[in-house]
Amino acid sequence: MAQDFDLIERIKERFPKMSKSHKIIADYVLQNYEKTAFMTAAKLGETLNISESTVVRFATTLGYDGYPELLKAMEECVKGKLNSMQRIESKYGRSSQSEIITSVLSADIEKIQDTITNLDIPAFEQALDTILNAENVYIMGLRSNEPLAVFLHFYLNMIRGNVTLLNTTSVSETFEQMIRISEKDCFIGISFPRYSMRTLKAMEFARDRNAKLIAITDSIHSPMNLYSSCNLLARSDMVSIVDSLVAPLSLINALVVALCLKRPEAVRDNLKMLEETWNNYQVYLNDEINFINDEPILNNPLRKQEDKNE
């Protein structure tokens, strides 16, 4: 299995020092290695509008003897992806439904426990101070990591202002949204395997602007750690085509709770203001339904006003 992902690890390790052209190739290979495994150097270069010789040099930069050896490595990646379904079948193929859910939930519990055991407490405290003291906070998590980013963004907005969720699929638009990021700001990058190259590029941009970086990722070997000095790690691996994000979500939840406890007055004021806003604009219609003579009566100011007018 280690050989299957040798190519991916090599690209992640060498990416920060690659030339602009090689970064374009690396990004394409990571996102499309199933397709690239069947492309010649000339075809790959034509697709990316890069010379064939640059593609060949990219292979040697990664430590391969030439492009054919790089192709072989990409084929191994494809095999590794296909074998993931075989691993699921070998682990769960003969299990009953109840055994499957017990096994999956037990694995999630194990990941949370491992996250607790290996949590870097100083890094966690540093992350809290960084988020609270930053002028602006930018959050980015793409693909399967997007729900984690949305969750964190939702609750940070209740704790403090000036929180931006970067959720575009375009690299150029990402830079446009964070063009004013500076040393006064904080960037939180969330990425678990397969790591997002767009998130890495955004972190590189934030680092170049001297912003403070926080990485929420899976291990000390994650490429996210290349740009961040504050790394919060949570286990996410699973014998499945679906990665477990239970431990990462628990870590983010702990981060939110700790932030609330550091600013209880601000949180109470914000929640009170939100509650008043919801009531004034009937956002939730108070979510109260009273049944009188089998007729649902909505308990909201609009209905009360209509009753008075009658």
- Spell out the domains of the chain, with CATH numbers in brackets: 6-94 (1.10.10.10), 100-262 (3.40.50.10490), 267-309 (no CATH)
For each of the chain's 310 residues, which pLDDT tens digit applies? Answer: 334 447 777 887 888 889 999 988 988 887 776 678 778 899 899 989 999 999 999 999 998 989 999 888 887 776 655 444 444 454 444 556 666 677 778 878 888 888 888 889 999 999 999 999 999 999 999 888 899 999 999 989 888 889 999 976 666 788 888 889 999 999 999 998 778 888 888 999 999 999 999 999 988 878 888 888 899 999 886 544 456 789 999 999 999 999 888 888 877 787 777 777 766 666 555 555 554 454 444 444 544 455 555 5
Structure tokens at 285: 């219609």
Structure tokens at 257: 């709770």
pTM of the model as a whole: 0.60
- Written as one letter, the residue type at 213 is L
Per-residue model confidence (pLDDT) at position 309? 54
Burial of 15 (0-12, 13-18, 19+ CB in 10 A): buried
- Cβ(182)–Cβ(199) below 8 Å: no
* Structure confidence by residue, pLDDT tens digits, 170-200: 667 888 888 899 999 999 999 987 788 888 8
Phi, psi torsion values for 282, nearest 5 degrees: 50, 40
Q: What separation in angstroms does the CA of 8 have from each of 15, 30, 80, 302?
A: 10, 7, 12, 59
Length of the chain, in residues? 310
User: For residue 238, what pLDDT is reported?
Assistant: 52
pLDDT score recorded for residue 298: 43
**Residue 237, pLDDT score:** 67
How far is 147 from 235, CA to CA, in rounded Å? 17
DSSP β-bridge partners for residue 297: 290
Q: At what angle do helices 246-262 and 264-280 cross, to 10 degrees?
A: 100
CA 155 to chain centre: 16
Say how far apart CA 161 and CA 165 lie, in whole Å. Answer: 12
Residue 159's pLDDT is 85
pLDDT for res 292: 47
According to DSSP, the residues that pair with 166 across neighbouring strands are 140
